[in-house]
Structure 1
Amino acid sequence: MERHEVVSRVYDASYQRLVVQLLGVCGDLAEAEDAVQEAFIKAIRQGAHFARVDNPEAWLRTVAVNHVRNRWRHLGVVRRVRVPAPGGPGAVELTPDHVALVTALAQLPHDLRLTAVLHYVADLSTTQVAAELDIPEGTVKSRLSRARAALAELLREESEHV
């Protein structure tokens, strides 16, 4: 099977799932789509190496998350150097539940948010999340517990305001 065919099959099977997972991480649909597309571009460039990866979706997710992290680092530098322009991105059409969840996730510290998205949205086990983030499984469980408690409170507050 040619390398482009391998990437194409993984794309068909994983693209939407990866975008939803990255949306949970970054809170912006366009940024999530961009990160996943960048991951697939890197997969194409990897050629035969990508075809031999044990878990292509995990590899792509890691590349996409790293892309988002690098973008955030870059934006942090840009914010220190210049004044942000007024206005913001266009509205994303999502259900009210999605909006509430993404809003609540955005309020979590990055480590809790990423851990929660990988476990609950990407449906990875705590062992898989630990391996992907290169942290102990106990740390994953602790982060998930704190994330659940924080999200429950944030979502309860949101429902009281509606």
Structure 2
Amino acid sequence: MGVRADPTDEVAQIYASACPRLIGYLTVLGGNRADAEEVAQDAFVRLLENWRKVRTYDDPQAWLRQVATRAMISRRRRSTTARTGNRRLAALQGDGTTAAADAGQIDLDRALQQLSIEHRAVLLLHHVHDLSIDDVARTLGVPAGTVKSRLARARAALLPLLSTSDTNGSAS
């Protein structure tokens, strides 16, 4: 009679190896470390709950990344909806406060925050996590063509944000 490994121990091994990188990815994706830690924690809870099935997958970490990415996208959409509603409410109440634009250079984090969560996700998964177009498509549950178009649009949107300090018109 063989001893079966405790699923908690198996998930703990994945947690030790994947959690720091997942939190880093989610922090950039969502723009907030506290949210990233919470989403990662929720993703690991779901991994533990589904471990019997997920342990048979070729890459359980890909499943984990997919669950976390979708959860962060949902969280950011809800947050954006709430902020939009609050701005509309403030406008109706006559609150004329607006954020002043920062002068000078725009850093990468700030530029990424200007993108939609969907565009940010494809950029990070493809360029930071080195996933192929097909892997990004599987992670996000969208067609490969959608990933390609989101990548193109995200790059086009980032270009002017990242080149504001380059006024001499040099091409790279």
Shorter-normalised TM range: 0.7 to 0.9
Could you say which structure has the larger radius of gyration? 2
Q: Which residue of 1 aligns with 2:70?
A: 66
Summarize deviations over 1:30-75 as a string: whole Å, max 9, x none: 1112111111111122232232233211211122122223333444
Residues 1:130 and 2:137 aligned together: yes
* Partner of residue 158 from structure 2, selected from 147, 151, 162: 151
User: Is there any run of 5+ residues in structure 1 with no aligned partner, and where?
Assistant: 85-98
Residues 1:108 and 2:115 aligned together: yes
The share of aligned pairs that are identical, in percent, is: 38
> Equivalent residues in 2 for 1:9-158 (5 A)?
9-75=13-79, 80=85, 100-157=107-164
Q: TM-score, normalised by structure 2?
A: 0.72
RMSD over aligned CA atoms reads 2.6
Residue 20 (structure 1) shift: 1.7
Q: Which one-letter code corresponds to 1:40 in the other structure?
A: F
Counterparts of 1:112 and 1:77, CA distance in 2: 17
- Aligned in 2, Cα 1:151/1:7: closer, same or farther, shift over 3 Å? same
If each structure's helix is expressed as a fraction of its own residues, which one has the higher value?
Answer: 1
Counterparts of 1:143 and 1:76, CA distance in 2: 19
Counterparts of 1:105 and 1:30, CA distance in 2: 18
Q: Any runs of at least 4 consecutive aligned residues in structure 1 with deviations exceeding 3 A, and if so which?
A: 72-81
- Aligned in 2, Cα 1:126/1:45: closer, same or farther, shift over 3 Å? same
How many residue pairs get matched?
146
- Aligned in 2, Cα 1:136/1:75: closer, same or farther, shift over 3 Å? closer
User: Is there any run of 5+ residues in structure 2 with no aligned partner, and where?
Assistant: 91-105, 167-172
Residue 133 (structure 1) shift: 1.9
Q: TM-score, normalised by structure 1?
A: 0.75
